[in-house]
Structure 1
């Protein structure tokens, strides 16, 4: 299977644009080509920063091998360009591998999700602490309003 048989799009986001929302169907993996995306969980109608994703990092990987809705919300916090890759394309590549490769990937995904939850509980991440300092209540309220409007436009129920 050649790389030309896969589709990838470059998406551009302004500061404050929602990339995806918790509760939204997961159809893509994103690679940050330029800029920054912050990932938030909602807690009682407030956004809580859980991680910061910078250039060459990727988002949406946890849902690649699960048919679940997004568990978090991603917001561009700078002018950002993302490479969007279809989940189905990633799965096609994995299907070409022996079954044990898929099993390893699924296990690693489960372990990663567990580790993220542990880190979130203990807030062990300097990037998160630094980025949290930059996010005042006004910015978080603006982001929450943007997320609410995004969900309304797309018909997405919240988490």
Structure 2
């Protein structure tokens, strides 16, 4: 398999919530921010750094992207298109990925509709108004 590299500049958006792209990405270097958007409010979900994957839910279940992903520093990604899935993974691993993805989407849905009680939970630090404004502006430009 030929690895396809993708170079991102700081502030570049790689995924938009609702996109149909199902490519899996591995961060080779750099850092990504995964976030949701409600009107103009930007809610950070996670930071993805070197040797971590992003896009795994859509990769395994073929559904649209569940969040936005933006480079927060210059970043190099290795892309794994879904067409390479059977070439790269045994059948049991694909089934495991699909099963885990189904569970994660179900839990995401429960949390977003019913909420979650927080008690001594380390989460992602909220963004400042200026950070939210900058990210929202980049989404509008993309």
Flag whether TM exceeds 0.5 (same fold).
yes
Please give the alpha-carbon distance, in whole angstroms, between the structure 1 residues aligned to 2:2 and 2:123: 32
8 Å Cα contact 2:35/2:69 also seen in 1:
yes
TM-score normalised according to structure 2 size? 0.81
Per-residue CA deviation, residues 93-135 of structure 1 (Å, 9 max, x unaligned), is 44x52xx554332111112333455677446863512xx3xx3
Unaligned runs of 5+ in 2: none
Aligned match of 1:75 in 62, 65, 70? 70
Superposed CA RMSD: 2.4
> 1:128: which partner in 2?
124
TM-score normalised according to structure 1 size? 0.73
Determine if the alignment matches structure 1 residue 140 to structure 2 residue 135.
no
> 2:48: which partner in 1?
53
1:74-153 equivalent positions in 2, closer than 5 A: 74-94=69-89, 97=91, 101-116=93-108, 121-122=115-116, 126=122, 128-129=124-125, 132=126, 135-150=127-142
8 Å Cα contact 1:64/1:91 also seen in 2:
no
Aligned match of 2:10 in 12, 15, 24? 15
Unaligned runs of 5+ in 1: 1-5, 151-159
Count residues in correspondence.
138
Instruction: Flag the structure with higher helix content.
Output: 1
